[in-house]
Amino acid sequence: MARFYKSIRLKAMELKETISTDALTASELSYRRLFEAAQDGILILDVEEGRVTDVNPFLCKLLGFSPAEMVGRTVGELSPFRDIVSNQAMLQRLQEHGYVRYEDLPLETRDGRKIAVEFVSNVYQAGDKNVIQCNIRDITERRKSEERLSNDATEVRLASRILKTHAEDLEQKVAVRTLELQSTINELEAFSYTVSHDLRAPLRAMQGYTHALLEDFADKWGSEERDLLARINKAAERLDILIQDLLTYSKVSKRRQAIVPVNLDHLVQDILTQYPTFQEAKLSFEVVRPLEPVLGNESGLTQVISNLLTNAVKFVSPDRLQKIKVWTEAKEFTVRLWIEDNGIGIDSENHLRIFKMFEQVDGKRFEGTGMGLAIAAKGVEGMQGSIGLESNLGSGTKLWIELLKPKKI
């Protein structure tokens, strides 16, 4: 009975051993598989002298040595590690810390290729004794791409520095220009202030004194003196109108107003009914309604259109009934407003002249300063529009302004 138990015990012990041996074998097997297949180099060293006891295929391939050429040597004796890893120092540090790590070792393989590796060694227990396992990872590609990245980063830094310099340069230039522009604008404002204030004061004096002479001393003058005084007065009046037009022109050039949809249909009606100039009996207006809306600003357009209409009614032979036709022509992105008269017309040679300051092609015959169309042209320009005409001498004039079309809502 006792023997039976003993034999069972023995069996059990055997079984246990077999299981544990099997288990051990299984774990060794899986370790071995990892060792063989690893995509990192692995060296196994003995803990006493640091001599290679095993080396995995990946490392052999990486360094270009066979296992036989490596086994039995210390790491320092392997040519790629020579002068780089001191065996003594490594062993000592392993003893102290159980761990040695070189982050970036530059190695040369057997065929002279330069590579970089990360080298980590650990001491661990394998069965009843300690061994050193060194994991050697090829980081050449990583280094290269890091280098590339860092080069790229340097380049980017350089480029951004250049860009920044340019931007600063540009900013400075813009600031300088803005300052120059502002000072020009200030000068212009000062100029028009001076014109409006100082140039007109002597005119007021001329008109005031001639008026006083004419009225207050009426009994002292014969008709000839009276006529001469009236001429002085008239000249002063004309100079005043010229100055006022010049001021309007400079104001229109300066004005930069928001561009919004404007209902031309209402605007033109308002101008035609409100301006006394357009109420005369010899005038006949035909407005083809509704006029298309345009992008502009109302006060600017009122000025432009009233100037164009004034122009249209002005240049006409005195004996004729004046017919003015107003209509709009919608284009893809713009709207053209036409104003046609049956006046004296303009020779094609003079078509460009009429939009310049103080130009009146037939200056002697008609009132005005020749500023009306120049002011209109400036105004239209400020609203991103254009102005032009079709005309021949003797057959009337078609003036047009073309402005942006508002977006359909």
Partner 1 sequence: MSDPSHSILIVEDNPDDLFILKRAFRLAGTPNDLHHAEHGQQAIDYLAGASPYDDRSVHPLPSLVLLDLKLPVKHGLEVLAWIKAQPSCRGIVVVILTSSNEDKDVSRAYDLGANAFLVKPTSAEKLTEIIRAVDVFWLRHNKYRVPALIFDNVPDNIDLK
The four Cα atoms 128, 132, 135, 136 give a dihedral, to 10 degrees, of -150
Q: How far is the CB of 371 from partner 1 (least distance, A)?
A: 17
Q: How far is residue 106's CA from residue 89's CA, in Å, rounded to a whole number?
A: 18
Query: In the bound complex, what is the minimum distance in angstroms from residue 214's beta carbon to partner 1?
Result: 9
| Residue 314 near residue 373 (C-beta atoms within 8 A) | no
User: What sign does the dihedral 52-57-63-64 (CA atoms) show?
Assistant: positive
Report how far apart, in Å, the C-alpha atoms of 383 and of each of 248, 299, 387 are: 16, 11, 11
- Is 207 a residue that touches partner 1 (CB under 8 A)? yes
Identify the residue among 203, 242, 283, 287 touching partner 1 (CB under 8 A).
203
**Shortest Å distance, C-beta 374 to partner 1:** 20
By CB under 8 A, residue 322 contacts partner 1:
no
What residue type is 327 in one-letter code? W
Rounded to whole angstroms, how far apart are CA atoms 131 and 267?
100
| CB of 204 vs partner 1, minimal distance in Å | 5
208, 290, 363, 394: residue in contact with partner 1 (rule CB under 8 A): 208
Q: Which of residues 236-265 bind partner 1 (CB under 8 A)?
A: 236-237, 240
Nearest distance in Å: CB 237, partner 1? 7
Cβ atoms 388, 376 nearer than 8 A: no
- Single residue of 35, 209, 221, 278 touching partner 1 by CB under 8 A: 209
Q: Which of 200, 226, 323, 351 contacts partner 1 by CB under 8 A?
A: 200
Whose Cβ is closer to partner 1: residue 238's or residue 353's? Answer: 238
Rounded to an integer, what distance in angstroms lies between the CA atom of residue 211 and that of residue 234?
Answer: 11
Q: How far is the CB of 192 from partner 1 (least distance, A)?
A: 8
148 within 8 A of 155, measured Cβ to Cβ: no
- Letters for 136-175 (x = contact with partner 1 by CB under 8 A, - = none) are ----------------------------------------
> DSSP letter string over 199-219?
IHHHHHHHHHHHHHHHHHTGG
Question: For binding to partner 1 (CB under 8 A), which residues are involved?
Answer: 189, 192-193, 196-197, 200-205, 207-209, 211-212, 216, 236-237, 240
